[in-house]
Every structure is written in C-alpha cells, then in structure tokens.
C-alpha cells in the first residue's frame, strides 16, 4: 500500500469504514441469493443443519435426494434414522445429524403442529439447532433481522478490524452494533459471498481482497 493510501486509511473512522464496506458489498452483490436450496422454512432448516462442517455445494447435491423422500416433518418421521443417515452421509457427521433431523421433526409435529416456529428461543431448543442455525432460519425464512455469524463472517469481521476475533458471540454482538439493523439479513449474505470470492481462509487472495487492504488489518497480522 502506498503512502497516500496509508494516510487515507488512517484518517478513516470506524463509521467511515463501515459505510465503505456497505457501499462496496452492495455494488458487488446487490441481490445475493440464499446459497442453500429450499422451498419452505422446514427444508431450509434441514439444509442449514446439514451445512455444519459441509460445503453448500455438497448440501445442495444431497437435499434434493432427501427431500424427494421427505420434504415435511410428517414424511421425515416415517423414515428411520438409518435411512436418513444413508442419504446424508456425504455431508459428514451423519450419525448425529440424522438423529437430529428425525428428532426435531417429531418435536415439530408434537409441539408445533408440524410448523417451524418463528421464535428463535423455540428453534434453539430443537435437536441439532444451535444459535447460528436458528438465526439463519429467522433471517432467511422469516425475514426477521438477524446476523448469523459463520466462519466467513467471523473471519472478515476480524480482518476488517471490526471485531477482535475471540469468539463468534462477540463477533455477532459487534456486527449488530456496527451495521444498521435493516441491512443485517442482506449483509450477512453479502459478507459470505465476498469472503468466499475475495478473502478465503486458506489460499490467500490478498491481491484481490481490496476491502481488507483499504480498511482492514495488514495481512501479516493474521
């Protein structure tokens, strides 16, 4: 970075940097699609659960097979846990995920009339559904302002100097504080797409990662 750019970077306040990120992400990804294939809140919930430690690409190859057999909790409980596991095995952690899918489907039927609850506290009580998964469903299925923090967002919030990188709880708190609430649902997708394309965790593309170079930490700091 040349002297002029360093000088400009040092003059930017955190508010300036946040506005810059919002502007650039809107320019790059004005209409970011939801990465996981789904048709309703239930299929989104299952897809997000499957995405833990698995790529979206792989999940999108497996869910059509699973949903062809069972696209509702009523149909899912008719499958055995072993049947579910055999289908979702390529997604990894299949023994745990299959039990969670079967278990949460039973709970949705018995406690929620077969519907995915629209309250995050009830979502988080379902087997295999943590805070991030629940937040994604709240954001993408029900359009409730949420800021789900995955590894991509956690990485970018640190690289941009917006959070200290200690844990995702702190990162989510910082993101909610810095970014306007009305933009949360869109921004969390935009950041994910930017991180994947310009600033992956491995195989650094620092020559492409222009936002970090403009407002963030030096690459030798992480």
User: Do 73 and 42 touch, CB atoms closer than 8 A?
Assistant: yes
Q: What is the pLDDT confidence band of residue 11, given thresholds at 50, 70 and 90?
A: confident
Which of residues 87, 119, 140 is at a domain's end? 140
pLDDT one-digit tens code per residue, 88-141: 999 999 999 999 999 999 999 999 999 999 999 999 999 999 999 999 999 999
Give the CATH number, domain containing residue 179.
Answer: 1.10.1670.10
Percent of the chain having pLDDT more than 70?
Answer: 92
Cα distances (angstroms) measured from residue 169 to each of 37, 105, 108, 139, 184: 27, 28, 27, 17, 16
Count of the separate structural domains present in the chain: 2
Confidence of residue 84 (pLDDT cuts 50, 70, 90): very high
Choosing from 150, 181, 213, 218, which is the catalytic residue? 150
Distance between CA atoms of residues 87 and 30, nearest Å: 35
Q: Are residues 173 and 119 in the same domain?
A: no
Render 10-33 in DSSP notation, one character per residue: HH--HHHHHHHHHHHHHHH-SSPP
150 an active-site residue? yes
CATH of the domain at 66: 1.10.340.30
| Domain range for 201 | 3-31+146-221
Does the structure show a pLDDT above 70 at 213?
A: yes
Instruction: Name the CA radius of gyration of the chain, rounded.
Output: 19
Other Cβ atoms less than 10 A from the Cβ of 139: the count is: 20
What average pLDDT does the structure give for the chain?
Answer: 92
Average pLDDT over residues 142-170: 94
Active-site annotation holder among 97, 132, 186, 209 = 132
pLDDT at 6: 52
Please determine, for residue 54, whether its predicted confidence score (pLDDT) is greater than 90. Answer: yes
| Separation CA 217–CA 122 (nearest Å) | 38
> Tens of pLDDT along 22-38?
999 999 999 999 999 99
Residue 183 tokens read as 């933009």
Mark which of 116, 140, 164 sits at the end of a domain: 140
Same domain for 207 and 181?
yes
Say how far apart CA 30 and CA 95 lie, in whole Å: 38
| Banded model confidence at residue 74, pLDDT cuts 50, 70, 90 | very high
40 carries an active-site annotation: no
Domain boundary among 140, 174, 189: 140
Residue showing tokens 């929620």: 112
User: What is the model's pLDDT at position 7?
Assistant: 47
Distance of CA 31 to the CA centre of its chain: 16
130 shares its domain with 53:
yes
Evaluate if residue 216 carries a pLDDT over 80. yes
Domain check: are 134 and 150 in the same one?
Answer: no
46 lies in the same domain as 24: no
Res 77: pLDDT:
98
Instruction: Report the alpha-carbon distance of residue 38 to residue 50 in Å, rounded.
Output: 12
Q: What is the pLDDT of residues 171-185, one digit of tens each?
A: 999 999 999 999 999
Q: How far apart are CA 106 and CA 76, in angstroms?
A: 9
Is 36 inside a domain boundary?
no
What is the rounded distance in angstroms from the CA atom of residue 175 to the CA atom of residue 169? 10
């Amino acid at each position: 970075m040349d002297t002029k750019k360093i000088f400009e970077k040092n003059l930017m306040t955190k508010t300036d940097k946040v506005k810059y990120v919002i502007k650039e992400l809107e320019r790059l990804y004005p209409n970011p699609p939801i990465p996981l294939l789904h048709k309703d809140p239930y299929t989104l919930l299952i897809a997000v659960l499957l995405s833990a430690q698995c790529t979206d690409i792989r999940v999108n190859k497996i869910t059509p097979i699973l949903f062809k057999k069972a696209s509702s909790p009523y149909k899912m409980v008719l499958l055995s846990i072993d049947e579910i596991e055999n289908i979702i095995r390529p997604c990894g952690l299949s023994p745990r995920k299959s039990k969670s899918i079967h278990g949460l489907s039973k709970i949705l039927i018995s406690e929620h009339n077969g519907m995915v609850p629209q309250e995050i506290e009830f979502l988080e009580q379902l087997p295999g559904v943590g805070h991030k998964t629940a937040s994604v469903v709240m954001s993408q299925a029900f359009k409730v302002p949420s800021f789900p923090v995955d590894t991509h967002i956690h990485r970018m919030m640190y690289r941009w100097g917006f959070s200290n990188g200690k844990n995702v709880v702190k990162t989510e708190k910082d993101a909610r504080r810095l970014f306007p609430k009305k933009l949360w649902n869109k921004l969390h997708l935009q950041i994910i797409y930017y991180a994947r394309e310009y600033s992956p965790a491995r195989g650094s593309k620092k020559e492409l990662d222009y936002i970090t170079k403009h407002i963030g930490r030096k690459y030798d700091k992480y």
